[in-house]
Chain A
Amino acid sequence: MTTPVLTVRNLAIDFLVGGDRVPAVHAVDFDLHAGEVLAIVGESGSGKSVTSLAVLGLLPGNARASGEILVDGQNVLGASEKVLSGIRGRKVSMIFQDPSNALDPVFTVGYQILEMLKRHRPQLTAAQRRERAVELLRMVELRDPEDRLDYYPHQLSGGQAQRVMIAMALACDPEVLIADEPTTALDVTVQREILDVLRRLQQRTAAAILLITHDMGVVADLADRVVVMRRGRVEETAPVQRIFGCPEAEYTKALLAAVPRLGAAHRASTAVPHERPVLEIADLVVEYRNRRGRAMRAVDGVSMDIRAGEMIALVGESGSGKSTIGKSALGLAPLTEGHIVIDGVDLATASRSQARALKKRIGVVFQNPTAALDPRRTIGQSIGEPIRVHERLRGGALSARVDRLLEAVELPASWAGRYPHELSGGQRQRIAIARAVSLEPMLLIADEPTSALDVSVQATVLELLRTIQGNLRFACLFISHDLAVVDELCDRVVVLHRGKIVEQGDRHTVLTAPEHPYTQRLLAAAPVPDPVEQARRRNESVAAL
């Protein structure tokens, strides 16, 4: 084998936090060869991002690293700024997670690429630089590259912005391209395009890619070899087929088992038949006015209903209006046209006291459990608030209820005095669920409740949601972008695209035999955690072109 372009030997990193040394990475070893895609997979806190930052010498000031990181035979750890600036951008460059924040909004895309070229390739003339910029944009398959140079970042979509970021990373023909969660902030169909761009680039330029990700589907799609990390240690390093085919480490097996997959077994619907729907939405239109007073239609003529005990999934990409529908059912979005009837009461004509009485019977779980809990309240206070307000319970009776709710979400009752920041993400989401069901709601609105969580945590939270729904039999509006999660949890699926419903029906029918082309595209775009299946799909899509 050739000599590796990047070698990491016995890397250990710890952070100084409040006077204590907190280890982040321990004894990490791997090699990256030219033309290879090496994926580092792990959940949050596994040390995968810290490792990638160390390669560029970008660790924060309170970090201490030991070991060796060799780029082209040169040790990056402890290297001077001068050496590092020769490596950054030229030998190793990086693509970040959120493309909309990585571009400076006040300069055009072209200016930013040219500036980068001016710095790293001062020998080029202005015309050559422009030519090179166009070539780079063409490499990332951006349409009309000449015109795109004059665009400002806000005129680009997320996927286009990420392509520009990749183009900038490629500007100096780096030997190593580090992609830190390059598609996490993007929709699945856009993710598909970016992954294809990365794969073709890698084949064409023979650059090595170090892919940092938590998504097993992305790994299956792109990687040649995989490093599985957990709590700062390498659990397993193996070629991609072996990782998915016969994983050795227990953790890898558990991780793969936790990944939701399409094709869940048949389940009996929990819906209560012959009853009036808990939530009826008829011809709903929601318009927002932007700063110039122009109306933006977020939801356009949506009609649906949910019966008691039924779990309905609202599926769509960002901008499809799925969250807005959830918000309007909560009275948090303007109702431009149409009706929302909850338990026979029309929200538009309900009086204030009626609306308040309704809200008492609706629970809500948001995506980000960190933001959804008041940081200044103990979790006991947060869970108890709806009970205090609506049932006017105090003292012992209240804390007894809080204890029961904590036990219902499988947390010790003694934790009532803790604050949200002392809990992990999954535990916080359990608290949010406990608060949402504290008044035994008839309707639960869950807006992407698991998408901010690690897969292994996601599996347990989904399980909890199912158990609680089985006990309380509430109707549930489950908003999600993840079809596999929906498949495991819901009875019916509603697919949204640009504010309109394109397809709705039974879970099994929609997910196995979709009728609308958009649903088909959505299903085809989601990468499956299986390298053989991914390769087959890719060949199919190439053949279709």
Chain B
Amino acid sequence: MSEQLASQQAPLVTPGDRSVWTTLRKRPLFWICSAALGVLAVIAVLPGPIAGLFGQPDPRACDLSRSAQEPSPTHVFGTDLQGCDIFANVVHGTQTSLFIGLLTTILCLVIAMVLGTIAGYYGGVADRIVSRLTDVFLGFPFLLGAIVVLNSAGTRSALTVSLVLAFFSWPTLSRLVRSSVRTVRGAEYVQAASAMGLTDRRILLGHVVPNSLGPVLAIATTMVGSVIVAESTLTFLGVGLRQPSISWGLQLSTAQSYFQSDPHLLVFPSLFLTVTVLSLITLGDILRDALDPKGRS
């Protein structure tokens, strides 16, 4: 009801400059999130100098005699069980964690967009094949699959871990794309486009994909966080990154058993993870609003 009323009022608004950028520029949240992600990017690129800001540039310079110390002027975030500086560890872990989180999500998104769109738009045999394929992957126990694949892989770098995570995570996203595309495919403007004699490529890229992207992007941004944590699970089981690798996931999984006695072990890495995920989700929401003409004023 209220939407109906709003649409009646709308013609009174004089359309000014309403490009996506103009809309984004006016949102303070957009700048806050971009700044947070910008800082994280700088940390990821230059971990050494940034860790050095507080006098502890080397995350592997550990002193067992100073194990699990509270934050102090020499160790701003305190030290972990091995007596390593937590700030230096968090800063050095940024690169690996962000790399795994973003790469995995982007890979999933690409696979899901392609397969999901094909399945949703063409239906029939293509749909049946893709749907069964996603069912197979969803039915497969993730941990077991990841252990088998990672054990048989010779090298285990952030890249291989990321590939394996993507390999097992795309089906949920693909299902979402498929159902979203199916809804849009039935819309009359898609029928009108095909009645106009437009090519499939044009219809897909011009009408179907932009209109089905909203819910998919929302889920994809939340995925980054879960991927970063999933990496820690693999590492904890000994099939993820190997020591002496540094990642947020690794720190979180070692810290979780000491939460009651030394909460700072868990708090600082999770703080970084939360800021990353929250900024990405908010940025995704703002972008979605800005890309939707109804969200622009």
A65-73, A296-304, A384-392, A486-494: which lies at the B interface? A384-392
User: Is A362 part of the binding interface, using a Cβ–Cβ cutoff of 8 Å?
Assistant: yes
B4 at the interface (CB under 8 A from A): yes
A152 at the interface (CB under 8 A from B): no
- 0/1 per residue, B1-21, Cβ < 8 Å to A? 110111111110101001000
Give the interface segment out of A246-254, A268-276, A337-345, A420-428: A420-428
A-B Cβ contacts below 8 A, count: 106
Q: Which residue of the partner chain, among B9, B13, B202, contacts A22 with CB atoms under 8 Å?
A: B9
In the assembled complex, the CB of B297 is this many whole angstroms from the nearest CB of chain A, namely 9
Kindly state the separation between the CA atoms of A389 and B207 in the bound complex, as whole angstroms.
14
Interchain CB contact under 8 A, B196 and A422: no
> Are A371 and B211 in contact, with the CB atoms below 8 A?
no
Interface hits, B1-48 → A, CB 8 Å: 1-2, 4-11, 13, 15, 18
How many chain A residues touch the partner (CB < 8 A)? 50
- The residue on A at minimum CB distance from B8 is A45
CB distance from B193 to the nearest CB of A (A): 7
Tell me, rounded to whole Å, the shortest Cβ–Cβ distance linking A143 to chain B. Answer: 35
Contacts of B207 in A (CB 8 A): 374
- Which of A50, A418, A421 is close to B1, meaning CB atoms less than 8 Å apart? A50
Q: Is A417's beta carbon under 8 Å from chain B?
A: yes
Q: 1/0 per residue B192-210: CB within 8 Å of A? A: 1111111000100011001
CA distance A421 to B11 in the complex (A): 9
Q: Is there an interface contact between B211 and A17, defined as CB atoms closer than 8 Å?
A: no
Which of A332, A375, A432 contacts B294, CB < 8 Å?
A375
A288 part of interface (Cβ distance < 8 Å): no
Stretch at the interface among B67-75, B183-191, B239-247: B183-191
Chain A residues in 8 Å Cβ range of B202: 389
Chain A residue numbers with a CB within 8 Å of B11 are: 422-424, 427
Q: Is A395 part of the contact surface with B, judged by Cβ < 8 Å?
A: no
CA distance A452 to B187 in the complex (A): 16
B198 touches which one: A358, A385, A421, A422 (CB < 8 A)? A385
A386 to B248, CA, bound (A): 52
Q: Tell me how far the C-beta of A62 lies from the nearest C-beta in chain B, rounded to whole angstroms.
A: 6
Do residues B5 and A15 form an inter-chain contact, with CB atoms below 8 A?
yes
Residue pair A371, B198 in contact (C-beta under 8 Å): no
In the complex, the answer to whether B197 meets A376 with C-beta atoms within 8 Å is no
Given known A-B contacts A17-B2, A50-B1, A375 and B195 have beta carbons under 8 A apart: no
In the bound assembly, the distance between CA atoms of A417 and B296 in angstroms comes to 13
In angstroms, how far is the closest chain A Cβ from the Cβ of B197? 3
CB–CB A332/B211 < 8 A = no
Q: Which residues of B lie under 8 Å from residue A386 when comparing CB positions?
A: 196-197
Assess A435 versus B192: contact at CB under 8 Å? Given A15-B5, A359-B197, A421-B10: yes
Q: Are A332 and B293 in contact (CB under 8 A)?
A: no
A464 within 8 A of B: no
Nearest CB on A from B227, distance (A): 29
| Interface residue from B1, B8, B193 paired with A424 (Cβ < 8 Å) | B8
With contacts A422-B10, A422-B13 taken as known, whether A45 is within 8 angstroms of B4 at the C-beta atoms is yes
CB contact list, A347-377 vs B, under 8 A: 355-360, 362, 364, 366-368, 371-376
Are B1 and A417 touching (Cβ within 8 A)? no
Chain A CB count within 10 A is highest, among B2, B6, B206, for: B2
Closest chain B residue to A356 by CB distance?
B197
Least Cβ–Cβ distance between B125 and chain A, in angstroms: 15
By CB atoms of chain B within 10 A, which of A62, A360, A419, A427 has the most?
A419
- Contact of A17 with B189 at beta-carbon distance under 8 Å, contacts A419-B294, A421-B293 already known: no
Q: In the bound complex, do residue A15 and residue B1 qualify as a contact, i.e. CB atoms below 8 Å apart?
A: yes
A60 in the interface, Cβ–Cβ < 8 Å?
A: yes
State whether B294 touches A421 (Cβ < 8 A). yes
- Using A376-B293, A423-B11 as known contacts, say yes or no to A371 and B187 having CB atoms under 8 A apart: yes
Contacts of A362 in B (CB 8 A): 195
Q: Mark B270-297, 1 if CB is under 8 A from A, else 0.
A: 0000000000000000000001111000
Per DSSP, chain B at the interface is: helix
Rounded to whole angstroms, the CA-CA distance of A427 and B248 in the bound complex is 55
Residue of B with least CB distance to A360: B197
Residues of chain B contacted by A331 (CB below 8 angstroms): 195
Chain B residue, CB-CB nearest to A389: B198
A364 touches B195 (CB 8 A): yes
Q: Do B194 and A332 touch (CB < 8 A)?
A: yes
Chain B residue nearest to A386 in the complex (CB): B196
Contact B196 A385 (CB under 8 A): yes
For residue A343, give the distance in angstroms from its CB to the closest CB of chain B.
14
* A396 interface contact, C-beta 8 A: no
Whole-angstrom distance between the alpha carbons of A18 and B121 in the complex? 35
Minimum C-beta distance from B10 to chain A (A): 4
CB distance A376 to B187 under 8 Å?
no
Provide the residues of chain A in CB contact with B210, threshold 8 Å: 376
A240 → B minimal CB distance (Å): 28
Q: Do A45 and B5 touch (CB < 8 A)? A: yes
Chain A residues with Cβ under 8 A from B193's Cβ?
374, 385
Q: In whole Å, how far is B111's beta carbon from the nearest beta carbon of chain A?
A: 24
The distance in angstroms between the C-alpha atoms of A382 and B195, with both chains bound, is 14
A390 to B193, CA, bound (A): 12
Find B192's partner among A360, A372, A375, A419 (CB 8 Å cutoff).
A372
Q: Which residues of B contact A419 (CB under 8 A)?
A: 293-294
Q: C-beta contact mask, A373-417 vs B, less than 8 Å → 1, else 0?
A: 111101000000110011000000000000000000000000001
B196 touches A371 (CB 8 A): no
State A83–B202 Cα separation when bound (angstroms). 57
The interface residues of chain B lying within 8 Å CB-to-CB of A371 are 187-189
Give the one of A376, A417, A418 with max B CB within 10 A. A376
Report Cα–Cα, A45/B8, bound state, in Å: 8
Complex partner residue of B195 from A17, A45, A332, CB under 8 angstroms:
A332
Closest Cβ of chain A to B204, distance in Å, is 13
Contacts of A53 in B (CB 8 A): 1
Q: Which chain A positions have C-beta within 8 A of B8?
A: 45, 424
Q: How far is the CA of A355 from the CA of B196 in the complex (A)?
A: 11
Q: Which residue of B lies closest to A47 (CB)?
A: B5
Report chain A residues within 8 Å CB of B195.
Answer: 330-332, 359, 362, 364
Beyond A49-B1, A374-B207, A421-B293, 16 extra complex contacts between A and B, CB < 8 Å = A15-B1, A15-B2, A17-B6, A355-B197, A356-B197, A359-B197, A364-B195, A366-B191, A367-B188, A368-B188, A371-B188, A372-B189, A374-B193, A375-B294, A385-B206, A389-B202
Interface residues of B (CB under 8 A from A): 1-2, 4-11, 13, 15, 18, 187-189, 191-198, 202, 206-207, 210-211, 291-294
Q: List 12 A-B contacts (CB under 8 A).
A: A15-B1, A15-B2, A15-B5, A24-B1, A60-B1, A63-B2, A332-B195, A358-B197, A378-B293, A421-B10, A423-B10, A432-B192
Q: Which 9 A-B pairs have the closest CB atoms?
A: A359-B197, A419-B293, A371-B188, A372-B188, A330-B195, A356-B197, A422-B10, A374-B189, A366-B188
